[in-house]
A = this chain, B = another copy of it.
Amino acid sequence: MKIKAAVYGASGYTGQELIRILSRHPEVQLTAVTSRRYAGVPVAKVFPSLAGFTSLVYADATPQEIAALCDVVFLALPHGVSMEIAPAFVEAGRKVIDLSADYRLRDLAEYEKWYVPHKSAALIGQAVYGLPELYRRQIDKAGLIANPGCYPTCIILGLAPLLKNGLIEVDSIIADCASGVSGAGRDPVVGSLFCEVDGGYKAYKVGNHRHTPEIEQELGVLAGESFAVSFTPHLLPVKRGILSTIYATLKRDISTAGLQDIYASFYEVEKFVRVLPAGDIPNISSVCGSNYCDVGMVCDPRTGRVIVVSAIDNLVKGAAGQAVQNMNIIFGLPEESGLAAVPVYP
């Protein structure tokens, strides 16, 4: 008996990626996908790459209607919208994996400071932050998953071994990150046009990107104390991928090889974190299309800093793949079920 899954808000790149992964998941039957804009249009007309993989047609349906069709729903909606849709699914007893930011911040005031007034704040306490490498046991039993942001996933996985082992000065953390354009979604805006992006590279939202409080929340949990980080996102002229180059001051001398051992040991049982051989540095093209997070690091005795570099595919480990990984945990499936694809390179 397969798990019946639905994707609510499935016309963007994250929605498409969920359909791509779920349509080949051996234990899942994709039963419904919704979109207002494309109501009545076959998925394969909007995304011809999916021809032959799904015969579903986009529906414009209420949460209640979709709840009747599924065991688990993925919400691929903008923040502010998820909070209006999620409660109905929770009430109906469906497992909810929310890919928006709406339930990620445990501090309501912090959420409302960076985002918008919350409309279903009561659910925040029930939500589990869906980063399996840190919260696997809570995810197991959760009814509502707050699927992590793409940048936070990449940064947190890059820093967790350092923070858990108390190796760095927490106030020294600087995360310089770059993302592919799919992270901006499929909405037609000038800034995402080919001619605006190709051949270009820029920082954006310097000092005020909304992923900052999420990053600080989770790094704070790892360190056992609160602190501020510098986080600067950049827009890369690529479709998929995030690379984080993270700087921190080491509390004590340690060699690159020694630190690589610590990372390898920390992530030993993880299926989706690949700690590179000492001295090797990740490239986003080595994880493209896959659920992997590649991590490399260099200790620089000249400056006393460690430089950690982590890479993910923002649509997979940074969104849809991680969401499916969470679903696998919730339903007791092997964590890599449906996620075994080899990265597509070149």
Residue positions of A touching B, CB distance < 8 A: 13, 16, 20, 23-24, 45, 47-53, 174, 176, 178, 181-182, 186, 188-190, 192-204, 206-207, 228-230, 232, 234, 236-241, 243, 245, 247, 274, 276-277, 280-290, 292, 294, 298-300, 302-303, 305, 307, 309, 311, 340-346
- Do A202 and B243 contact each other (CB < 8 Å), given the known contacts A193-B188, A344-B289, A344-B344? yes
- Do A202 and B281 contact each other (CB < 8 Å), given the known contacts A230-B247, A342-B20? yes
- Nearest B residue (CB) for A247: B174
A280–B309 CA distance with the chains assembled, in angstroms: 27
Query: Which residues of B have CB within 8 Å of A230?
Result: 247, 300, 303, 305, 307
CB distance from A317 to the nearest CB of B (A): 14
- Nearest B residue (CB) for A45: B277
Query: Which residues of B have CB within 8 Å of A288?
Result: 49, 199, 344
Q: Mind listing 18 A-B residue pairs with CB under 8 Å?
A: A13-B195, A49-B345, A52-B274, A178-B178, A178-B234, A181-B198, A188-B190, A194-B194, A194-B237, A194-B239, A199-B238, A199-B288, A199-B346, A200-B238, A203-B245, A230-B305, A288-B344, A344-B344
CB distance from A135 to the nearest CB of B (A): 23
Query: Which residues of B have CB within 8 Å of A20?
Result: 342, 344-345
A229–B303 CA distance with the chains assembled, in angstroms: 7
On whether the beta carbons of A198 and B238 are closer than 8 Å, the reply is yes
On whether the beta carbons of A198 and B206 are closer than 8 Å, the reply is no
Closest 9 CB pairs of A and B: A200-B285, A202-B283, A195-B346, A49-B345, A207-B300, A49-B343, A176-B176, A188-B188, A49-B286
On whether the beta carbons of A281 and B245 are closer than 8 Å, the reply is no
- Do A186 and B178 contact each other (CB < 8 Å), given the known contacts A200-B238, A202-B243? no
Query: Which residues of B have CB within 8 Å of A309?
Result: 202-203, 206
On whether the beta carbons of A284 and B201 are closer than 8 Å, the reply is yes
On whether the beta carbons of B286 and A289 are closer than 8 Å, the reply is no
- Do A285 and B199 contact each other (CB < 8 Å), given the known contacts A194-B192, A341-B341? yes
A152–B241 CA distance with the chains assembled, in angstroms: 28
Query: Which residues of B have CB within 8 Å of A302?
Result: 207, 228
Specify which of B16, B47, B201, B344 is in contact with A238 (CB 8 Å cutoff): B201
On whether the beta carbons of A182 and B195 are closer than 8 Å, the reply is yes
Q: Told that A228-B302, A230-B300 touch, could you supply 5 new A-B pairs with CB distance under 8 A?
A: A20-B342, A49-B344, A192-B194, A193-B194, A240-B346
